[in-house]
């Protein structure tokens, strides 16, 4: 992980930025090209969340995520 933090102090959302790292070995399989843009509003573990990422040949080029810092077992934080 390169950088992370809260969006605004006293908020329930945080962000993470990952750049240029290998996330799996070739023996585990090959992820030649994977581009994701996800806006997940379903209430689950750390959602709602937004994710934007690009993976080339098992290497993360960039991955940017904004997510709810609280787990689903704390429903009072979702309102």
Q: What is the pLDDT along the chain (79 residues), one digit of tens a residue?
A: 577 777 777 778 889 999 998 988 989 889 899 999 999 887 766 678 899 999 999 999 999 999 888 766 555 554 4
CA dist 72 and 69 (Å) reads 10
pLDDT for position 11? 77
Query: Per-residue pLDDT tens for 23-44?
Result: 889 898 898 999 999 998 877 6
How many Cβ atoms are within 10 Å of 49's Cβ, its own excluded?
17
Please indicate, yes or no, if residue 25 is contained in any of the structural domains.
yes
Residue by residue, DSSP assigns 1-37 as --EEEESSTT-SEEEEEEEEEE-S-GGG----EEEEE
Please indicate, yes or no, if residue 13 is contained in any of the structural domains.
yes
CA dist 58 and 35 (Å) reads 12
| Whole-prediction pTM | 0.75
Please indicate, yes or no, if residue 79 is contained in any of the structural domains.
no
CA dist 44 and 72 (Å) reads 5
Q: 34: domain range?
A: 3-74
């Amino acid at each position: 992980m390169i950088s992370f933090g809260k969006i605004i102090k006293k908020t329930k959302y945080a962000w993470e930025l990952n750049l240029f790292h290998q996330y799996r070995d070739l023996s585990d399989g090959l992820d030649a090209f994977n581009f994701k843009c996800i806006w997940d509003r379903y209430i689950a573990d750390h959602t709602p969340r937004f994710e934007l990422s690009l993976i080339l040949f098992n290497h993360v080029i960039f991955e940017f995520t904004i997510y709810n810092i609280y787990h689903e077992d704390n429903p009072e934080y979702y309102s």
